[in-house]
Amino acid sequence: MSMTIKQIVLYSHTGEQRPLLFKSSCLNVITGDSKTGKSAIIDIIDYCLGRGSCNVAEGVIRRSVSWFGLEVENDGSALFIARKNPGPGTDAGSEIYVRRGSFDAPPEFADLARNLSEGELVSLLTRFIGISENEHRPQSGTRLPLEATIRHALFLCFQKQDEIDNRDRLFHRQGDQFIPQAIKDTFPYFLGAVDEEHFLKQHELDTAREALRELEQRASRQQEQRNIDLGRARRFVNDGKRVGIVPQDFEPAQVDATIRVLTAASQVELSNAAALPDFGDTINRLRDEQSTLRETLYRVTEDARTARLLFSERSAFSREVSEQRSRLSSIGLYRNEADEREVCPVCDSPLTVPTPGTSHIRAALANVSTQLQAVEIEQPHLQRHIEELEAKKLQLEKELVDAQTALVRAIAEDERARAQHDALLERARVVGRIGTYLDGLHPDQTEQDLTPLIEAARRRVEGLEAAINADDAAQRLDTYLNIISKQMSEFAKGLDLEHSGSELRLDLKKLTVVADTEDGPIPLNRMGSGENWVGYHVLTYLALHWWFRRRKRPVPGILIFDQPSQAHYPADRDQEGSLDPLEDKDRHAVQALFELMHAACSEMEDLQLIVLDHAHLTDPWFEDAIVEEWRRGRFLVPPHWDSRPN
């Protein structure tokens, strides 16, 4: 199913309602004189479906209507949208009311109050007609990605009076700024040439490309590190000689030999007896003391932590019980008491589970209060224990600082020991630097070999690229346009149009219809006469909707034509809608046009085609299709609504 219009409801300033009901999924005709409000229908529907500005012409409608209401239906679920008339002189109002669900009557005037904003209305409707997430990515990258919404779908649903016979513009609002590009961008989606999955895959591809790039960068960084620079190696050799871990007579000339020597140097055992002469007894004793202190401190800290954890668990329990007590205490607010009841107070039927009585709740309250007291009594002991541990820790820390100071002093006193100490430090530093350098040269075993990963990432990117081949989408689009063009030619058989015998084609790049003749392609704007222009507009829209309905695309199943018969039956020749004053040729043309629309509607199951026109054919099927006839004092807006007589 697709979205169709159930009714338009206008509200007067005094709260009167004027409903205009439509039949779903068939031809709906509103016939009538000029200036009865026919052309406002498209503007009212467009405004209610989220257009930014209200384009209803200034005049009686703008003056006497307070809210425009529209009820739409899609697959059994109904949505009522009302927008406040911005009133004469302005063109945008922010007050929007929506109501979901099926009701017998439109909302009361008093209920209409803002409960939605315009942006949300568009997103609500977009989801309502079934457009899932989609995004058009322009190839050039200069435009922002465009998301298709209901607003884009509606370009394919309306033809206003000045559009249906326009030879330069095929689509609704094609003359407005930016609109042609938006139509071209969203068309592939609405036709079904690219699906929602296309965009998901596009996103996946972006991620995969990013991952590949990252892997390649990492690989090239690894490569760089492996390049050996002899100049740097020589510096390390000199450092090594200075601290005595490289033989003094070694000359770094060859890369391999240099690396070998440096590797040996980096493995020198720093703390062996040869490298580290005796420091003296004092220093050793101080070191021992220091490490014992450290161990004790660690144990005490650990104990304190455990105790604190236990304490916090206790308080979590008491917090939980306090919460229960607090929530149960609501019982005190009830002034009446009642026992456990086994019947329902509404219907007096017996309950399988009785409603608890006041005494139950009070008992539970007393119970948790007792528990809470027990916990609170126990807590102080634990707290004291923690305090003791903290004090001990402080003491130990102080002792450790003292030991450290003593050690520093002992080392300072021993001149020889200090020199040794410095040399040891310096040597350790050089060994460390050489180690880092060598690690860079020979990436150790834990560093992954990136080649298979890069290979896999590259295959993934290629696979995704193949899956979303843009050419593929373009080909599918061409095929679909071809099928639609064939259907146009099929529909054209009933109409007597110039070039209707030749191949018709929808040109998406130029947004026009082209007839391929033996003399070359003839676009719409080079064809003559108004009747052709109207005819090709009607054909194009019918064929597009034929496709949308067939493929169940998320375009509303609504098509509205404003005065399709104007080329043959201009308003000034209107005589009660009768075709009699027309010449034979014109009469046949109007008849054929309406017959085509009738036939198309019978063929397409869920298309709601609304035609606003002067003509009133006498055929029974036409009479059946008439929704309302606006002549002899009947208008869209009841005349007595207008406060200003003119």
Partner 1 sequence: MSLAPWAKRTPEEANLFNPALLGLLASEFIKEFSKAKGAPCPFALPFCALPIALHCKTRASLPATTVTSLYTWRERNPEALVGYADRAKSLRPAVQEAIRFCMDRGALEVASDGGLKLGKVPVSATKKFEFTLTRDAQECISAARLLGRWFAKAGTTSTILAAWGIKP
Q: Examine residue 314 and tell whether it contacts partner 1 (CB under 8 A).
A: no
Note whether 116 binds partner 1 by CB under 8 A.
yes
The one among 177, 352, 370, 445 contacting partner 1 by CB under 8 A = 352
Torsion 143-147-148-151 (CA) sign: negative
Is residue 354 at the binding interface for partner 1, with CB under 8 A as the rule? yes
Alpha carbon separation from 391 to 300, 394, 396, 401 (Å, rounded): 10, 5, 9, 16
Q: Are 511 and 183 in contact (CB under 8 A)?
A: yes
For residue 136, list its beta bridge partners.
146
How many residues sit in the footprint of partner 1 (CB under 8 A)? 53
- Give the one residue of 235, 305, 327, 409 binding partner 1; rule: CB under 8 A: 327
Nearest to 304 by CA among 244, 222, 217, 388: 388
- By beta-carbon proximity to partner 1, the closer residue of 335 and 632 is 335
Cβ-contact 548, 30 below 8 angstroms: no
**Tokens representing 311?**
């304490």
Instruction: Give φ, ψ of 576 to 5 degrees.
Output: 55, 25
- Tell me the window of 65-73, 284-292, 327-335, 420-428 that interacts with partner 1 (CB under 8 A): 327-335
Asked if 334 is part of the footprint of partner 1 (rule: CB under 8 A), the reply reads yes
Check: CB of residue 95 under 8 Å from CB of residue 37.
no
Q: Is 120 in the site for partner 1 (CB under 8 A)?
A: yes
CB of 380 to partner 1, least distance (A): 22
Tell me: does residue 332 bind partner 1 (CB under 8 A): yes
Residue 498: strand, helix, or coil: coil
Taking residue 49's Cβ as centre, other Cβ atoms within 10 Å add up to 25
Interface with partner 1, residue 100, by CB under 8 A: yes
**Amino acid at position 210, single letter:** E
Which window, 247-255, 362-370, 483-491, 503-511, contacts partner 1 (CB under 8 A)?
362-370
For partner 1, the closer CB: 222 or 358: 358
Q: Least distance from C-beta 345 to partner 1, angstroms?
A: 4
Residue that the structure tokens 């609170």 belong to: 376
Residue of 117, 405, 436, 602 that binds partner 1 (CB under 8 A)? 117
Interaction of residue 337 with partner 1, rule CB under 8 A? yes
Contacts of 554 (CB under 8 A, 6+ apart): 2, 129, 130, 131, 132, 153, 190
Classify residue 81 by its DSSP letter.
E
Question: Does 364 contact partner 1 by CB under 8 A?
Answer: yes
602 touches 6 (CB < 8 A)? no
One residue of 14, 132, 225, 330 binding partner 1 per CB under 8 A? 330
Give the binding range for partner 1 (CB under 8 A) out of 41-49, 137-145, 347-355, 502-510: 347-355
Q: Per-residue DSSP letters for 390-432?
A: HHHHHHHHHHHHHHHHHHHHHHHH-HHHHHHHHHHHHHHHHHH
Residue 556 DSSP one-character state: -
Among 212, 283, 328, 636, contact with partner 1 (rule: CB under 8 A)? 328
User: Out of 11, 97, 189, 561, which residue is the one contacting partner 1 (CB under 8 A)?
Assistant: 97
Closest distance of CB 25 from partner 1, Å: 23
Helices (H) and strands (E) in the chain, counts: 17, 15
* 3-class secondary-structure state, position 598: helix
Site for partner 1 (CB under 8 A): which residue of 291, 326, 405, 517? 326
Output 118 or 414, the one with its CB closest to partner 1. 118
Residue from 340, 402, 490, 603 touching partner 1 (CB under 8 A): that is 340
| Residues numbered 521-580 forming contacts with partner 1, rule: CB under 8 A | none
The window from 236-244, 325-333, 458-466, 561-569 that contacts partner 1 (CB under 8 A) reads 325-333
At its nearest, how many Å lie between partner 1 and the CB of residue 106?
A: 12
When asked if residue 107 is in the footprint of partner 1 (CB under 8 A), the reply is yes
Identity of residue 350: P
| Selected binder of partner 1 within 142, 336, 349, 646 (CB under 8 A) | 336
Nearer Cβ to partner 1 (113/571): 113
Question: What is the biggest distance separating any 2 CA atoms in the chain, rounded to whole angstroms?
Answer: 130
Cα separation, 87 vs 561, in Å, equals 26
122 to 141, contacts with partner 1 by CB under 8 A? 123-124
115 binds partner 1 (CB under 8 A): yes
Contacts of 1 by beta carbon, 8 Å cutoff, 6+ apart: 74, 75, 76, 557, 606
Binding residue (CB under 8 A) for partner 1 from 21, 57, 113, 456 = 113
Does 114 participate in binding partner 1 (rule CB under 8 A)?
yes
For 511-556, where are the alpha helices, taking DSSP H only? 530-550
Which residues are at the interface with partner 1 (CB under 8 A)?
A: 77, 97-103, 107, 111, 113-117, 120, 123-124, 319-320, 322-324, 326-338, 340-341, 344-346, 351-356, 358, 360-361, 364, 367-368
